[in-house]
């Protein structure tokens, strides 16, 4: 086999290429690169910065991410669980053709195609671990979790450390 120093050099050499290349599904890979890691500016970014100047860069980046996710799943039912500020709600509602549902707790059965959960490491940790165990495609992005329900797919869990 190869010596240990060669393997560490090889992994460092491939690090810049391997961001998402472990995903075998074409739809999941396209969602990761075309939606979650998209860097091109959308038309709403400047409007959000002008309308909500009191929020910092991190809050604006999360709102931009939520806009891209909701814009991608425009005709699906989206449920947002957790505390979302007015900047996030404006970005989500602007992207959808129908109104998104907001709740801080789940009280009944969920009938949504896409679920976005805020604060998955703090307030909604138990809820998030339940979704990971279920038959869903999940994206764990440190503080934000996305659950996508497909009928004929095996469950997958992706941990995305940086975008």
Residue 87 CB coordination number (10 Å)? 20
| Residue 114, φ and ψ in degrees, nearest 5 | -125, 135
Residues paired with residue 118 on neighbouring β-strands, in sequence order: 144
Q: For all residues of the chain together, what is the average pLDDT?
A: 83
Q: What is the mean pLDDT of residues 95-115?
A: 82
The better pLDDT of the pair 105, 81 is held by: 81
What are the structure tokens assigned to 71, written together? 């814009």
The pLDDT score that the predictor gives to residue 90 is 95
What are the structure tokens assigned to 154, written together? 């095996």
pTM assigned to the model: 0.82
The pLDDT score that the predictor gives to residue 2 is 45
Tell me the pLDDT band of 15, cut-offs 50, 70 and 90. low
Strands (E), the chain: 78-81, 101-103, 114-118, 137-141, 144-148, 156-159
Convert the pLDDT of each residue in 120-132 to its tens digit.
888 887 888 888 8
């Amino acid at each position: 086999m190869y010596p240990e120093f060669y393997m560490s050099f090889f992994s460092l050499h491939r690090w810049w290429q391997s961001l998402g290349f472990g995903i075998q599904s074409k739809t999941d890979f396209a969602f990761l690169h075309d939606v979650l890691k998209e860097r091109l500016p959308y038309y709403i970014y400047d409007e959000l910065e002008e309308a909500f100047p009191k929020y910092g860069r991190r809050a604006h980046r999360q709102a931009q991410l939520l806009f891209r996710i909701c814009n991608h799943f425009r005709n699906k039912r989206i449920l947002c669980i957790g505390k979302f500020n007015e900047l996030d709600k404006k970005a989500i509602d602007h992207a959808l053709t129908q109104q998104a549902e907001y709740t801080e707790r789940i009280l009944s059965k969920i009938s949504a195609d896409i679920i976005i959960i805020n604060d998955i490491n703090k307030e909604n940790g138990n809820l998030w671990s339940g979704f990971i165990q279920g038959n869903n495609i999940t994206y764990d992005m440190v503080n934000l979790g996305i659950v996508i329900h497909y009928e004929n797919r095996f469950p997958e869990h992706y941990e995305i450390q940086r975008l």
